[in-house]
Amino acid sequence: MIGEISISTVTAILGALASYFFVKNENKKQFRYHETEAKAKASAIIYESEKLLQDAKIKIREQEVELEKRFQEKVLEVEKQKTELMLEMEALKEKRQELAFRARDIEKREEYLDTLEQRKQEEISKSIALLERSAEMTRDEAKSYLINQVEEQCQLEMAQLIRKYEKQAHHDAKRKADYIISQAVTRYAGEFAGERLINIVNLPSDEHKGRIIGKEGRNIKSLEQLLGVDIIIDETPGVIIVSNFNLYRRAIATQTIEILVKDGRIHPGRIEAVHKKVEEEFEQKILEEGENIVVELGLLPMAEELMKLLGRMKYRASYGQNALAHTLEVAKLASLMTAEMDGDQKLALRAGLLHDIGKALTPDVGGNHVDLGVEVCKRHNEHPTVINAIYAHHGHREPDSIESAAVCAADAISASRPGARREVLESFVNRVKDIEEIARKEIGVKDAYAINAGREVRVFVDAGKISDAEITVLSKKIAKEIEKKVQYPGEIKVTVIREKRETSYAR
């Protein structure tokens, strides 16, 4: 029994010892592992620290080099300033010495001048004494004699000067008077034209004037540029004035402004949209007016182009007389006269209606309205009598029928009756048209509008063809052409406007 216990005890002790040594051996292994890991981390830290230290040393060295470089630059700069300062001091020293030399020289010259002045006075005294002895005149008597001689000479010269300046004053007064008269005539012509070349747009309130002007004048600038008219906003309550010699352009501008005022939205984008819409409506309205005239007179059928041109004549004037009103007057007079002479009343009415049809084309095409009228009527196979009436009413050919002769007589009656035409207005309109045409002929010009009673022309150029530097040359060139080719009182202001626009669409 005791032996069994002892064996068990020994066995347990041996197991415990084995476990102890096993655990101790395992702990040693773990310690060695942790020790090795710690040493590796320490080595890495040491390496990283040495690397950081090395980088820091390199940066410090670079900074030292940079600071040394800056220091050297500063030293060189200070040396340079020192050298410049020394040179300036040397220059000042030289200047000071030069001024001292000049001061001494001036003192010597002053002394010499004083000596000369003294000698001069002595010589004068001797000369006066000698003159008194030679002329047997005292000093006062000689002085009086000289003064009298000078007065006589001065009076003669004064008389000559007076005559000279009187003549010059008369000449200058005439030129000044001519200038004043020309300016007065110019202003009177502007008022005369303004009475017949303006439309008045009524406003709901004066607040709309501010909207039309826009911020920094943006809206009124856009309106005048797009519509080609002169918009006058003065102190007259509730109205603005639209002025231009072109009736068609003025009518479109008036309706565009009225729509904008009624709508209330006035800005450049809206102005362009409304203007485009009004132009399209006007083209349709012109055709309708022409059709109504032809239907009313019973002259169907007639080509659509001719009816459209008839409608356009409502916005054309000749010598202050509305072209459409004149045409209708001629047509009706010719019809009545032809009826009295047993001619073809309907043919005379048609010839009278179409005799000035070319005037509807002249604002856009230019040229002689007789040739233009014949060309368009031949293109649409109008009656030979109509063609002859167009030629004959201005003496290009002799009338070859009763109807043609009646049209010629009716045209003369309509044009010559008292109050029908105003030659002054027509010459003004022609002059303004010539000014616009001169500007439009230049390369790169998109459009040109004469405003302010013909005293200013605004020229809009293509920004892709004309640069900012070239617009100055272009304005001077147009001004010179106007001076050469147009007779006008006063002066004409030429303004060239270059505006670049780029448009893209997001799809």
Residue 388: the pLDDT is 92
Residue 202 pLDDT more than 80? Answer: yes
Nearest-angstrom CA–CA distance, 379 and 367: 18
Overall average pLDDT of the 144-173 stretch: 66
Note the pLDDT tens digit of each residue in 36-65.
888 888 888 888 888 888 888 888 888 888
Overall average pLDDT of the 253-258 stretch: 86
Residue 20 pLDDT more than 70? Answer: yes
pLDDT band at residue 507 using 50, 70 and 90 as cut-offs = low
Note the pLDDT tens digit of each residue in 386-409.
999 999 888 888 888 889 988 888
Tell me: cis bond preceding 399? Omega within 30 of 0 counts: no
Overall average pLDDT of the 87-93 stretch: 83
Residue 180: the pLDDT is 39
Note the pLDDT tens digit of each residue in 166-183.
677 666 666 654 543 344
Residue 491 pLDDT more than 80? Answer: no
Tokens of 429: 């309109």
The per-residue pLDDT of the chain, averaged, comes to 78
Overall average pLDDT of the 98-103 stretch: 81
Contact 459, 496 (CB under 8 A): yes
Residue 134 pLDDT more than 70? Answer: no
Residue 126: the pLDDT is 73
Domains along the sequence of the chain with CATH: 303-421 (1.10.3210.10), 427-499 (3.30.70.1350)
456-462, strands of its sheet edge to edge: 445-451, 456-462, 493-499
Note the pLDDT tens digit of each residue in 426-480.
566 777 788 888 888 888 888 888 877 677 888 888 888 888 878 888 888 898 8
From residue 304, alpha-carbon distances to 225, 236, 267, 294, 431 in Å are 32, 43, 36, 11, 32
Tokens of 270: 């809206």
**β-strands 317-318, 198-202: how paired?**
unpaired
Residue 238 pLDDT more than 60? Answer: yes
Q: Which of 195, 330, 215, 315 is nearest to 255 (CA)?
A: 315
Residue 320: the pLDDT is 58
